[in-house]
Chain A
């Protein structure tokens, strides 16, 4: 079956998409408290120098996420 969502690692640099939900419960707690809510638009800014971390922008706020954190944020296609 084809996936009905993308995640942050699927985004190209400067591409953005709206969040659907966060799949990991513990992380969802942390990220929702930081304001990464379902329906907010996430922009991919760059990956970290040694890979495995992402620099994203949410409503003008810059946030750094690990790969597994970024991968648990489900985005609209």
Chain B
């Protein structure tokens, strides 16, 4: 046994889905939360610090909601993996088991399994306020007596009895109440007993239920060594062990044992009259109204995002512009100032400018989730998504993808079937995220005339909308193709509970938004910052003394052309960029992108937008020599800046043919390229982490890039 005294004690929060577990977690920890990667399994785990009335602290670990220790998704596997492994760094010293008291008869299965592992558990009967309203009366004394563990009625939403719960947890940590060694809820069958004995002899595991779980989960438990796996496999084979069947028998046996206990303790059994939820669902999941309302809700959400997030985004950009100017005037010119302003500050600005949009979108998604609507979306679109190799739960990832693919991909963890989850992870980046919007806006403004189509819709809005549609279509079709290609036999489930509709619990909503924004800032942000600094270096320095030569030559030419000092500065800057590593790289792959209608300047912009797509506009601004003329890129009226950039782009011609670079064809081709290309290193890093190998990230990169290349080519050919 590990010594509890030497370190901060660990308390696990476990329970079924929809038991109100996360509300209790947020209540006990507040903002003292952090997510950490769980070793061995690609699942993130939420931890927080809880403080007892005595002032002492413990780490509270929020485990994913699960019905039993026989998991069907990687989320749920985490619970079984930790509870079977006392050496695990998350193995708890005490557990809080959250059960929905209004559905107690179906919420205790996992509890009895944990008790059979002889873990010290406290049962918290949540939603006691709702139970009171429904007239359900629970005799906790009887439950304490029959289950042999502390039982407390609480309400996470009304914050009732939380102090009492904390007191009970601290008491349990000091003096853990464990079920006696020889007492078990579930009596192992004779066959199972023999198996448990064999495991004890071979691997030295004394708890027979833990031994049995090891045999059930031998193929995937991350901490088992190959030799142990083989031993467990041999035991299962010689005893002719049928895992699935044994799981069902055990589950039924457990229900047979605890349901009478629950019935005995509940003085007034619950009745379930038709509620508001039934009346709401009659409309929201209606054959015709359901999908219609869903589309309307989505349109409203996007409308809200475009209407509201512009102001904070402008404020952030202006703020960084002022900061950057301030740095420049205090430090003077030099490479260090440039590193600060063009590398680091530009990087931070590129990260933070997306926060308003991402926060707003995730706020609305969190509200839909809290209210209970998302489960209905999963129900309505499961069939549709299955056609494209995914499942109903993928809809949530795809919607989140329109904010940022990084947290969206992380939300795919609730998908049980590996193939469906993989496809969701692979196609989510096709959905147009917030970073593509600035690029779309510049290019559409350049190429699409501001005319009305059919008298009402503006042509520009129409093209903008089609870029989103293109992303969705590309995601679905690639999903379909991957489904044809992969084909596994792993079972896939829908089987999802549709919770009662309720008012959102705002604490949960804010914390969820906070978590998603943090995932973006720390996941995507770090990489954007690094790439931004690398790109700065690539465009600041060149091979040998090429930069110095270019500068000198540019000055001479500028004098010959009689440019004024501002124009000279821009001209020199442009020539320096041409001579830099980035410029050389852009020129070297001009032949490759020429068929798409791009010149080497666009090539550099494509290269630089690998950090963050919106860098595209910034790079072009420098290349089209509009630096000091209008002041710093961040520090101008945005519309004016875009208009200037547009007019510069319009006059640009190919050096060899003399034809304009930005024809309608080039702009459309670029739009398609940006809609389809994988230009986000942060996403690739998350894909690698979630799929466990670079293989899928590499495949995603090459497949999306090729699709973007050929798609852009085709569009260029059509329009030119």
In angstroms, Cα B70 to Cα A31, docked, is 11
The answer, yes or no, to whether B384 is at the interface (CB within 8 Å) is yes
Interface residues of A in 39-56 (CB under 8 A from B): 45-53, 55
The answer, yes or no, to whether B29 is at the interface (CB within 8 Å) is no
The answer, yes or no, to whether B472 is at the interface (CB within 8 Å) is no
> A48 near B383 (CB under 8 angstroms)?
yes
Partner of B495, one of A25, A55, A64: A64
In angstroms, Cα B248 to Cα A32, docked, is 7
Which of B288, B291, B383 has its CB near the most chain A CB atoms (within 10 A)? B383
Partner of A27, one of B252, B382, B495: B495
Query: Which B residue's beta carbon lies closest to that of A47?
Result: B287
Query: Which A residue's beta carbon lies closest to that of B256?
Result: A37
> A64 near B493 (CB under 8 angstroms)?
no
The answer, yes or no, to whether A1 is at the interface (CB within 8 Å) is no
CB distance from B377 to the nearest CB of A (A): 11
Which of A38, A47, A59, A60 has its CB near the most chain B CB atoms (within 10 A)? A60
The answer, yes or no, to whether A66 is at the interface (CB within 8 Å) is yes
When distances are taken between beta carbons in the complex, the residues of chain B under 8 Å from A33 are 67-68, 70, 109, 251
> A32 near B255 (CB under 8 angstroms)?
yes
The answer, yes or no, to whether B497 is at the interface (CB within 8 Å) is yes
The answer, yes or no, to whether A17 is at the interface (CB within 8 Å) is no
When distances are taken between beta carbons in the complex, the residues of chain B under 8 Å from A30 are 67, 72, 493, 495
CB distance from A18 to the nearest CB of B (A): 15
- Chain A 1-42, CB-CB to B under 8 Å as 1, else 0, gives 000000000000000000000100111111111110110000
Which of B67, B270, B379 has its CB near the most chain A CB atoms (within 10 A)? B379
Partner of A29, one of B106, B244, B392: B244
Interface residues of B in 5-61 (CB under 8 A from A): none
Query: Which A residue's beta carbon lies closest to that of B382?
Result: A53
The answer, yes or no, to whether B281 is at the interface (CB within 8 Å) is yes
When distances are taken between beta carbons in the complex, the residues of chain B under 8 Å from A25 are 244-245, 248
> B285 near A32 (CB under 8 angstroms)?
no
When distances are taken between beta carbons in the complex, the residues of chain A under 8 Å from B290 are 49
> B380 near A49 (CB under 8 angstroms)?
yes
When distances are taken between beta carbons in the complex, the residues of chain A under 8 Å from B68 are 29, 33
Query: Which A residue's beta carbon lies closest to that of B381?
Result: A50
When distances are taken between beta carbons in the complex, the residues of chain A under 8 Å from B491 are 26-27
- Chain B 221-258, CB-CB to A under 8 Å as 1, else 0, gives 00000000000000000000000110110011001000
Partner of A66, one of B245, B281, B382: B382
CB distance from B69 to the nearest CB of A (A): 9
When distances are taken between beta carbons in the complex, the residues of chain A under 8 Å from B392 are 53, 64
CB distance from A70 to the nearest CB of B (A): 9
When distances are taken between beta carbons in the complex, the residues of chain A under 8 Å from B277 are 62
In angstroms, Cα B70 to Cα A50, docked, is 31
In angstroms, Cα B381 to Cα A64, docked, is 11
> A31 near B495 (CB under 8 angstroms)?
yes
CB distance from A57 to the nearest CB of B (A): 8
Do most interface residues of chain A lie in helix, strand or loop, or is the interface mixed?
mixed
When distances are taken between beta carbons in the complex, the residues of chain A under 8 Å from B255 are 32, 35, 37
The answer, yes or no, to whether B496 is at the interface (CB within 8 Å) is yes
When distances are taken between beta carbons in the complex, the residues of chain A under 8 Å from B494 are 53, 64-66, 69
Do most interface residues of chain B lie in helix, strand or loop, or is the interface mixed?
helix
When distances are taken between beta carbons in the complex, the residues of chain A under 8 Å from B103 are 35, 59-61
CB distance from B271 to the nearest CB of A (A): 8
> B495 near A69 (CB under 8 angstroms)?
yes
The answer, yes or no, to whether B105 is at the interface (CB within 8 Å) is yes
> B498 near A55 (CB under 8 angstroms)?
yes
When distances are taken between beta carbons in the complex, the residues of chain B under 8 Å from A51 are 383
The answer, yes or no, to whether B378 is at the interface (CB within 8 Å) is yes
When distances are taken between beta carbons in the complex, the residues of chain B under 8 Å from A55 are 281, 285, 379, 498
> B493 near A49 (CB under 8 angstroms)?
no
> A32 near B379 (CB under 8 angstroms)?
no
In angstroms, Cα B74 to Cα A4, docked, is 38
Count CB-based A-B contacts (< 8 Å).
Answer: 120
The answer, yes or no, to whether A77 is at the interface (CB within 8 Å) is no
When distances are taken between beta carbons in the complex, the residues of chain A under 8 Å from B105 are 35, 59
- Chain A 63-74, CB-CB to B under 8 Å as 1, else 0, gives 111100100000
When distances are taken between beta carbons in the complex, the residues of chain A under 8 Å from B493 are 27, 30, 66, 69
> A49 near B288 (CB under 8 angstroms)?
yes
When distances are taken between beta carbons in the complex, the residues of chain B under 8 Å from A50 are 291, 380-381, 383-384
Whether A49 contacts B281 in the complex (CB less than 8 A), given A35-B105, A62-B498, comes out as: no
CB distance from A34 to the nearest CB of B (A): 6
Query: Which B residue's beta carbon lies closest to that of A56?
Result: B498
- Chain B 254-282, CB-CB to A under 8 Å as 1, else 0, gives 01000000000000001010000110011
The answer, yes or no, to whether B502 is at the interface (CB within 8 Å) is no
> B383 near A63 (CB under 8 angstroms)?
no
> B497 near A62 (CB under 8 angstroms)?
yes
Whether A49 contacts B252 in the complex (CB less than 8 A), given A34-B106, A63-B497, comes out as: no
Partner of B286, one of A31, A38, A49: A49
Query: Which A residue's beta carbon lies closest to that of B18?
Result: A61
In angstroms, Cα B68 to Cα A60, docked, is 20
> B496 near A29 (CB under 8 angstroms)?
no
Query: Which A residue's beta carbon lies closest to that of B375?
Result: A64
Partner of B379, one of A35, A48, A69: A48
When distances are taken between beta carbons in the complex, the residues of chain A under 8 Å from B496 are 63-64
In angstroms, Cα B286 to Cα A46, docked, is 8
When distances are taken between beta carbons in the complex, the residues of chain A under 8 Å from B495 are 27, 30-31, 34, 63-66, 69
In angstroms, Cα B251 to Cα A50, docked, is 33
In angstroms, Cα B385 to Cα A50, docked, is 11
Query: Which A residue's beta carbon lies closest to that of B67?
Result: A33
Whether A48 contacts B382 in the complex (CB less than 8 A), given A29-B70, A31-B495, A60-B270, comes out as: yes
Whether A26 contacts B106 in the complex (CB less than 8 A), given A34-B497, A49-B287, A63-B497, comes out as: no
> A61 near B379 (CB under 8 angstroms)?
no
Partner of A61, one of B70, B378, B497: B497
- Chain B 488-530, CB-CB to A under 8 Å as 1, else 0, gives 0001011111110000000000000000000000000000000
In angstroms, Cα B286 to Cα A55, docked, is 11
> B383 near A52 (CB under 8 angstroms)?
yes
Which of B244, B247, B248, B496 has its CB near the most chain A CB atoms (within 10 A)? B248
CB distance from A43 to the nearest CB of B (A): 10
CB distance from A15 to the nearest CB of B (A): 16
In angstroms, Cα B494 to Cα A30, docked, is 10
When distances are taken between beta carbons in the complex, the residues of chain A under 8 Å from B498 are 55, 62-64
In angstroms, Cα B380 to Cα A28, docked, is 23
When distances are taken between beta carbons in the complex, the residues of chain B under 8 Å from A64 are 375, 378-379, 382, 392, 494-496, 498
CB distance from A64 to the nearest CB of B (A): 4
Kindly list 12 other residue pairs between chains A and B, CB separation below 8 angstroms, not including A47-B287, A69-B495.
Answer: A29-B251, A30-B493, A33-B109, A34-B497, A48-B285, A49-B288, A49-B290, A49-B291, A49-B380, A53-B392, A59-B106, A64-B392
Please, could you name 12 A-B residue pairs with CB atoms under 8 Å apart, sorted by A? A30-B495, A33-B67, A34-B495, A46-B285, A47-B287, A48-B379, A50-B383, A53-B382, A53-B383, A53-B392, A62-B497, A66-B382
Shortest beta-carbon contacts, A-B, top 6: A60-B272, A35-B106, A64-B379, A33-B67, A25-B244, A62-B498
Which A residues form the contact surface with B (CB < 8 A)?
Answer: 22, 25-35, 37-38, 45-53, 55, 57, 59-66, 69
